[in-house]
Amino acid sequence: MSAPSGESLQVVAGARQSPGRRALRKVNAYVALTKPRIIELLLVTTVPSMILAQQGLPSVWLILATLVGGSLAAGSANTLNMYIDRDIDKEMRRTEGRPLVTGEVSPRGALVFGVVLGVVSFVQLTWTVNLISAVLALAAILLYVFFYTLLLKRRTPQNIVWGGVAGCLPALIGWSSVTGRLDVAPFVLFGIVFLWTPPHYWPLSLRYKDDYAAAGVPMLPVVADTVTVARQIVVYSWVMVAWSLLLIPTAPTGPIYAVSAVLLGAGFLAGAYGLLGRAKRDEPLEPMKLFHGSITYLSLLFVAVAVDPLVGLHF
């Protein structure tokens, strides 16, 4: 008599759970489809953009309405991304525990859930914020799903460069939710996130290079040697830091943002050059140091964007 498989044991264990526990597990699985950690990072760029546009604190209602709509849009894009990538997710250790791979959520359920989130996001933002913010949120969904996931991800090592456009739109959404229009300043914020995305994501790709290779995804570390990847990270880091200084003449920022941009940029560059040095010396790369450091950089830089208008110190 053969031993029961792991899948059979999982089914039996699931059958023994109480209805309430099974329902909670299902809810958690659907929440996981939205990639909550990524949503948190996107919202970090939304609120500071709103505060900068307002030159103060917008109404709590507007902030909440914008964050809810933005979260729903991001959740929609991430869910649809998982629906499309479920075949390669099962090939990678980093993603083999996702709900569509484990069978916790069916492909049809994920597809319906993702579409519903997107529709609700558009309607909610149109009704509670304004049409331009709703259109921008819809554009973010479409860009992430069709431009990045379907068109670029499996075809070019530049996938994360141009596919990262979708992740830059929360800065525009935040600004337009307050002003009802787009100006130069939000596009500078957009550019910071755009230029930050490659040196943020390529270290993660270095860490999971073998996973991406096994799944046939041509991330830059899969098709280029580590020194080349590290050099690209340094180049993008320099351009990103220089671009971040453009906010000083294009928006009413003060010394808090200026000093923060310089110091945080210097720290980011030190991390990028450290990675390049280790790559040249053929030492352990430790790319996750730069990956986590990049999250800290973006978060603190946008905190500085928010603090400046609240403190009111301007050049």
pLDDT tens-place values along the chain, 315 residues long: 444 444 443 444 445 667 778 888 889 999 999 998 888 888 889 999 999 999 999 999 999 999 999 999 999 999 999 999 999 999 888 888 999 999 999 999 999 999 999 999 999 999 999 999 999 999 999 999 999 999 999 999 999 998 889 999 999 999 999 999 999 999 999 999 999 999 999 999 999 999 999 999 999 999 999 999 999 999 999 999 999 999 999 998 889 999 999 999 999 999 999 999 999 999 999 999 999 999 999 999 999 999 988 886 665
Q: The whole model's pTM is what? A: 0.90
In the numeric block, the tokens 């720290």 are attached to 267
- As a residue count, the chain comes to 315
Do residues 51 and 305 touch, judged by C-beta distance below 8 A?
yes
257's CB contacts (< 8 A; 6+ apart) are: 247, 248, 304, 305, 307, 308
Distance in angstroms (rounded) separating the CA atoms of residues 169 and 271 = 26
- How high is the pLDDT of residue 231? 98
Q: Torsion over CA of 165, 169, 170 and 173, rounded to 10 degrees?
A: 180
- Half-sphere CA count of 158, side-chain side, radius 13 A: 3
- How high is the pLDDT of residue 289? 96
Class of residue 212 by CB neighbours under 10 A (exposed 0-12, middle 13-18, buried 19+): buried
Complete domains list, the chain, with CATH: 29-311 (1.10.600)
